[in-house]
């Protein structure tokens, strides 16, 4: 009522001659008179109303999940806040790591961990009916509200979180031609333990990934590979860089990569491997379901031109050999990323040693032991390692 009265007063006095300037309240721009306080009153009322709508309940609920061991240094705390006027609950995370992991865990590994719980629920929408109406009354968009929640470290209003707190959410319609029948809401006695279990699994997977990333950043490639079946001789090439990428950087760096295999909810890295004048750049995308889903590698070799899966069958076979590795084939739970990298490095050596003699002068000579450099009509390279015997042998 006060807003309506102030607006009416502003309209009546609009004919008066006075200079005006503009004042922004959030995303709303209001004309403010140099003489007279009615516009000031309107702005103050809007600010006050926004403050009331965006004010969370003073009670904060927090629960902490460990890593399943007695190590209390590696925990994730989930903070829940309730916004009464908007009618939803938000969840934010506070990650605690040991000093060693903390130094090598980039922000993408520790921020917004809960958005990786479900690829269809990133917390980038407000799933509660009525919230949009309240935001419209204070001239705020959904995006601005989500940005405000993030800036204040209140977290995100996930759909699963509203269900856990018995808050009604919008029904998702998959097919407009199909009439949806009401489904029974899951019982809290089952829903909450399942959610806690899912968060626990997600946190353990994230901790494993942090440890693997730390080893690669420090170039300790063989830290978790002692139990794996690998050649006894080290690759002739060297890892010189392992760095994190944003989704935009990944897409810009891999114009030939299959965009259907990646999405914004994944983690991205670049590995650079060199041997002599040749350089191999590997772009790695890691799914939120890691390690159940293996990281996907896109490989590009810079030597006598640019070679990738689009123009070279040898590189395409190299990618297949790297991406076909799964966690179930390994002994150590932290060996997946490093084993993929080692596979790729051996393949890089073999690519150069089989391709090198075709150029003059010869820069790379045969060092690996393999029966044939090329096989069949597709000229397949010997990327696969043969176990057994005293000689490290590779075959197609």
Entry field: residues in the chain: 396
Residue 126, domain member (yes or no) = yes
Residue 65, domain member (yes or no) = yes
Question: CA nearest 339: which of 208, 209, 221, 205?
Answer: 221
Q: Are 198 and 109 part of one and the same domain?
A: yes
Q: Which residue has the tokens 């721009």?
A: 29
Q: Which residue has the tokens 């990281």?
A: 295
Instruction: Give tens-digit pLDDT for 139-177.
Output: 899 999 999 999 999 999 999 999 888 888 876 544 445
Lowest mean per-residue pLDDT among 39-48, 74-83, 156-165, 241-250: 39-48
From residue 186, give the alpha-carbon distance in Å to each of 116, 183, 225, 290, 362.
Answer: 21, 9, 43, 27, 67
Q: What is the pLDDT of residue 3?
A: 41
More confident residue, 375 or 16: 375
The total number of structural domains that make up the chain: 2
Q: What is the pLDDT of residue 288?
A: 86
Q: Are 246 and 358 part of one and the same domain?
A: yes
Q: Are 106 and 253 part of one and the same domain?
A: no
Domain that residue 193 falls in: 60-170+189-202
Q: Are 259 and 197 part of one and the same domain?
A: no
State whether the Cα torsion 38-44-48-54 is positive or negative: positive
Lowest mean per-residue pLDDT among 13-22, 112-121, 255-264, 387-396: 13-22
State whether the Cα torsion 120-155-209-349 is positive or negative: positive
Query: From CA 364, how far away is CA 348, in angstroms rounded?
Result: 12
Query: From CA 186, how far away is CA 163, in angstroms rounded?
Result: 9
Q: Are 263 and 125 part of one and the same domain?
A: no
pLDDT of 261 > 60? The answer is: yes
In the sheet with 393-395, reading across from the earlier edge strand, the strands are 369-370, 393-395, 384-386
In this prediction, residues 31-49 reach a mean pLDDT of 66
Within 10 A of 394 (CB to CB), how many other CB atoms are there? Answer: 19
Q: What pTM did the predictor assign?
A: 0.78
Q: Are 306 and 197 part of one and the same domain?
A: no
Q: What is the pLDDT of residue 61?
A: 92
Residue 22, domain member (yes or no) = no
Q: Are 225 and 351 part of one and the same domain?
A: yes
Percentages helix, strand, coil for the chain (3-state, rounded to 5) are 35, 20, 40
In this prediction, residues 127-135 reach a mean pLDDT of 89
Q: What is the pLDDT of residue 14?
A: 41
Residue 219, both tokens:
């170039």
Q: What is the pLDDT of residue 374?
A: 78
Instruction: Give tens-digit pLDDT for 190-240.
Output: 788 888 899 999 999 998 999 999 899 999 999 999 888 888 888 999 999
Q: Are 253 and 314 part of one and the same domain?
A: yes
Residue 182, domain member (yes or no) = no
Maximal CA-CA distance, the chain: 98
Q: Are 247 and 146 part of one and the same domain?
A: no
Residues contacting residue 213 through CB under 8 Å, at least 6 positions apart: 104, 105, 106, 109, 242, 269, 337
Residue 375, domain member (yes or no) = yes
Kindly indicate the confidence band of residue 39, based on its pLDDT and cuts at 50, 70 and 90. Answer: confident
């Amino acid at each position: 009522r006060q807003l309506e009265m102030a607006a009416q007063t502003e309209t009546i006095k609009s004919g008066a001659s006075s200079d005006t300037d503009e004042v922004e309240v959030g995303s709303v721009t209001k004309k403010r008179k140099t003489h007279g306080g009615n516009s000031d009153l309107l702005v103050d009322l809007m600010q006050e109303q926004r403050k009331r709508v965006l004010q969370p309940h003073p009670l904060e609920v927090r629960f902490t999940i460990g890593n399943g061991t007695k190590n209390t240094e590696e925990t994730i705390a989930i903070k829940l806040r309730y916004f009464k006027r908007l009618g939803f609950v938000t969840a934010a995370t506070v990650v605690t790591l040991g000093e060693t992991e903390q130094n090598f865990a980039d922000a993408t590994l520790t921020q917004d961990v809960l958005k990786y719980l479900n690829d269809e629920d990133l917390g980038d929408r407000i799933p509660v009916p009525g919230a949009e109406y309240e935001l419209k009354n204070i001239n705020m968009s959904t995006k601005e509200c989500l940005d405000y929640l993030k800036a204040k470290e209140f977290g995100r209003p996930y759909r699963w979180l509203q269900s856990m707190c018995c808050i009604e959410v919008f029904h998702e319609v998959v097919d407009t031609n199909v009439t949806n029948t009401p489904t029974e809401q899951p019982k809290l006695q089952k829903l909450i333990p399942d959610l806690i279990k899912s968060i626990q699994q997600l946190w353990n997977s994230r901790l494993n990934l942090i440890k693997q990333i730390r080893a690669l950043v420090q170039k300790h490639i063989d830290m978790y590979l002692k139990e794996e079946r690998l050649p006894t001789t080290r690759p002739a090439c060297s890892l010189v860089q392992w760095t994190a990428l944003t989704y935009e950087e990944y897409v810009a760096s891999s114009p030939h990569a299959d965009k259907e295999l990646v999405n914004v909810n994944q983690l991205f890295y670049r590995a650079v491997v060199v041997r002599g004048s040749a350089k191999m750049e590997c772009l790695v995308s890691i799914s939120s379901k890691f390690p159940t889903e293996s990281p996907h590698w896109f490989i590009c070799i810079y030597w006598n031109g640019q070679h990738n899966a689009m123009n070279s069958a040898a590189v395409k076979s190299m990618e297949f050999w790297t991406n076909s590795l799964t966690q179930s084939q390994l002994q150590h739970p932290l060996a997946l990323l490093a084993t993929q990298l080692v596979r790729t490095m051996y393949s890089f050596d073999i690519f150069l040693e089989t391709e090198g003699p075709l150029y003059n002068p010869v820069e790379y000579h045969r060092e690996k032991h393999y029966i044939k450099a090329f096989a069949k009509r597709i000229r397949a390279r010997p990327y696969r390692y043969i176990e057994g015997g005293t000689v490290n042998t590779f075959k197609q």
